[in-house]
Amino acid sequence: MPGISVILAAPGWRAAVKRPEAVARRAAEAALREAGAAGAMTVLLTDDSEVKRLNGQHRAKVKPTNVLSFPAGAPGQLGDVALALGVVRREAREAGRKTAAHLAHLVAHGALHLAGHDHLLAGEARRMERAEARIMRRLGLPNPWRGVT
């Protein structure tokens, strides 16, 4: 699988998830396989303040969010995905999920965006949710959409 780089910018990820870089890399690889996409991508595991800054700079939303995707638009380059530790941890806790499983789901979600998937329309959203469920099953992790209404 070409060039999946994982940058651990917030050391708190190690306390929240055992081997967070490996979890992120496996999820990105599985998502790109699912989408039939190839190319280089970077996963940034950072904190809420950095994601808040990126979200404000690129989306005019001055608040942290769980995951941001930045498509590259260059041959051989898929783009970048950034995840906010505090938001990911909080969402996992609220949903009764393990932080590692939520991290894997959100990396897969971001990688699918880089591969051209979206969820703006109902049909697109359903296809993306099904792809995410298949990816999680391949990773041996629970379906993130089971029990969601």
What domains are there in the chain, each with its CATH number? Answer: 4-138 (3.40.390.30)
At 74 the pLDDT is 86
Burial class (CB in 10 A: 0-12, 13-18, 19+), 11: exposed
In the chain, the amino acid numbered 105 is: H
The continuous run of DSSP H or E covering 46 comes out as strand 40-46
Q: For position 148, what pLDDT does the model report? A: 53
pLDDT values of the chain reduced to their tens digit, one per residue, 149 residues: 458 999 999 999 999 999 999 999 999 999 999 999 999 999 999 999 999 999 999 999 999 999 999 999 888 899 999 999 999 999 999 999 999 999 999 999 999 999 988 877 678 888 999 999 999 999 999 999 886 54
Could you tell me which residues are annotated as the binding site for Zn(2+)?
Answer: 109, 113, 119
pLDDT at site 106: 98
Measured CA to CA in angstroms, residue 105 lies from 57, 131, 138, 147 at distances of: 25, 11, 12, 15
pTM: 0.93
Can you tell me which residue has the tokens 């298949």?
134
CA-based diameter of the chain, in Å?
Answer: 40
Annotated binding-site positions: 109, 113, 119
**Phi and psi, residue 70, nearest 5°:** -125, 95
